[in-house]
Structure 1
């Protein structure tokens, strides 16, 4: 099934670049573009895309307001040049399922869209470690139900690695990585890779902790 994407950014060149990147991917199609927040909200309600990419700073409604308005009906990824914790926190609190910097590269953007389409979440690797360290506390009770391979995957997720990067590092297939991530979520009762990374930091696994 094709993932239908709406792109919202006030810069036409950015919208065109995002469209080229996404339309070039199998199973992804950009179905609309918006140049401001009000248009983004209207098009999202009209077109009902699977995923909506929104910039933070746009005329009219900003990206964070659009995110809050669409939460629960459309999966929103914030795509921006502004690497600010305040924006990350507001986006996630508002219901965004991803936060990607425009300089993160096409691979991260594409994986964020694919993750969002299945209800998962992805944050740019450069943001992940800084964000999660805010939630780090001394390691308490550790989890012994994970296999050695699952622990390796958890540590890689905590370092902000994408599924493709994990597959390359561990010399396993992409589908195997996705399988391990799904099993970890099920075993630990977590909803997405952001919560996996937070769990890893909280329990001392992110820095080569308990086995």
Structure 2
């Protein structure tokens, strides 16, 4: 038998928590291990229970969800489960280490279970609004799948496209490796595991990539990395040579 995915629910609304419990309580392969009413309680329970996945609301009284993602991320995979579809909130949550971002009303019971089991294995799931934010929806464009590679965006040779990106933005070899993992939707922890480096090192590389791309969020970085050359230039402000130095 497969080991069940242990899930912690963190939401200040008891009705929402009851609904999530009802959806997941009898789901095969899922085991509920606790409920929290705010971010502080979620963190304490995560330390105690070590859930595989935490369903985390954004806005909660006291300590909100966004405030504890950084502390939760080393302990559990995080699925943001919220009513907030604000682009800045979505970007901040994913940049801080959330694995997935789902909006209430955009999934049924089966989809929620799949999101939980996918998150436990490090696979990202996004509600359409979140995917749009990360893949061009900020400018009203048709979203591009997060699993897309430069080949999917019109280049005959994906390796050539990656080489062009590396030269254009003066990315180091390791930064380029991190970028290639980043566009698949992986969290910092999973990128670190794939590249055999520490999560803190991944975060440092991502910060360096942000500076070289001229962006300030993961959403903007994805727009550059997944965009055409013309789209990338629209997202990338003018740079000075000192900013591009490795």
For the 8 Å contact 1:100–1:108, the answer to whether it is kept is: no
For the 8 Å contact 2:90–2:133, the answer to whether it is kept is: no
- Per-residue CA deviations over 1:159-188 (Å, capped at 9, x if unaligned) read xxxxxxxxxxxxxxxxxxxxxxxxxxxxx9
Q: What is the SS of the residue equivalent to 2:12? A: coil
The aligned counterpart of 2:17 is 15
Q: What is the SS of the residue equivalent to 1:123? A: coil
Greater mean deviation of Cα atoms: 123-132 or 57-66:
123-132
The aligned counterpart of 2:54 is 52
Separation in 2, partners of 1:130, 1:192: 14
- Per-residue CA deviations over 1:62-120 (Å, capped at 9, x if unaligned) read 10112111112211111100111111101011100010001112233222211110111
* Shift in alpha-carbon separation, 1:102–1:46, aligned structure 2, 3 A: same
Separation in 2, partners of 1:122, 1:28: 17
Q: TM-score, normalised by structure 2?
A: 0.57
- Alignment root-mean-square deviation, CA: 2.9
The aligned counterpart of 2:128 is 125
Greater C-alpha Rg: 2
1:39-188 correspondence runs (5 A): 39-106=41-108, 107-133=110-136, 139=153, 141-143=155-157
Q: Which consecutive residues of structure 1, in runs of 5 or more, have no partner in the other structure?
A: 146-187, 205-211
| 1:37 Cα deviation from its structure 2 partner | 1.3
Separation in 2, partners of 1:111, 1:142: 34
Separation in 2, partners of 1:130, 1:96: 15
The aligned counterpart of 1:156 is none
* Shift in alpha-carbon separation, 1:86–1:42, aligned structure 2, 3 A: same
For the 8 Å contact 1:38–1:61, the answer to whether it is kept is: yes
For the 8 Å contact 2:57–2:80, the answer to whether it is kept is: yes
For the 8 Å contact 2:56–2:79, the answer to whether it is kept is: yes
After TM superposition, where is structure 1 displaced by more than 4 Å over at least 4 residues in a row? 134-137, 198-201
| 1:192 Cα deviation from its structure 2 partner | 7.3
Separation in 2, partners of 1:38, 1:89: 22
| 1:190 Cα deviation from its structure 2 partner | 3.8
The number of equivalent residue pairs is 159
* Shift in alpha-carbon separation, 1:96–1:67, aligned structure 2, 3 A: same
Q: What is the SS of the residue equivalent to 2:119? A: helix
